[in-house]
Amino acid sequence: MDIIKHTFEADIPTVFVPAASFPDGIKPAFNELCGKLKMQGRTLYGVTERVNGKWVYRACASDRGDTPDMPHYSIPAGTYLAYVLPDWEQHLPMIGQYFEWLLDHKDAKKDTIALEYYKTMDEVWLMVQHK
């Protein structure tokens, strides 16, 4: 499996819906997010991180400044290690293992976020921060 590097030159402002649970609450969080926003022209992201010892998941969409009533999250700029996963919906049960593989990489930042970057409807980039 090939790992590529990708750099976000600036922080990415997003709005989000938190998942009520992890991992079962992910799909409902995205459904709620998409129901609240006009999605055309927005990029979707998923962010998983440990907060106070527990996993927190945010279903995120790029912020256009038109949703002041929603919580905001800024995806950190920087270089990420990425695994490109085509037809991601066919591989849902494996996504956690792909992230574990990325997190074990010698160049992965300790205590990194796990980032899903939905490049297209069919392709997701699974990403962790580079140290």
pLDDT tens for each residue of 19-68? 999 999 999 999 999 999 988 899 999 999 988 888 899 999 999 988 88
pTM value? 0.94
The per-residue pLDDT of the chain, averaged, comes to 94
* pLDDT score at 55: 87
Q: How far apart are CA 82 and CA 19, in angstroms?
A: 23
DSSP assignments along 17-73, one per residue: EE-SSTTTTHHHHHHHHHHHS--TTPPEEEEEEEETTEEEEEEEEE--S--TTS-EE
The pLDDT of residue 105 is above 90: yes
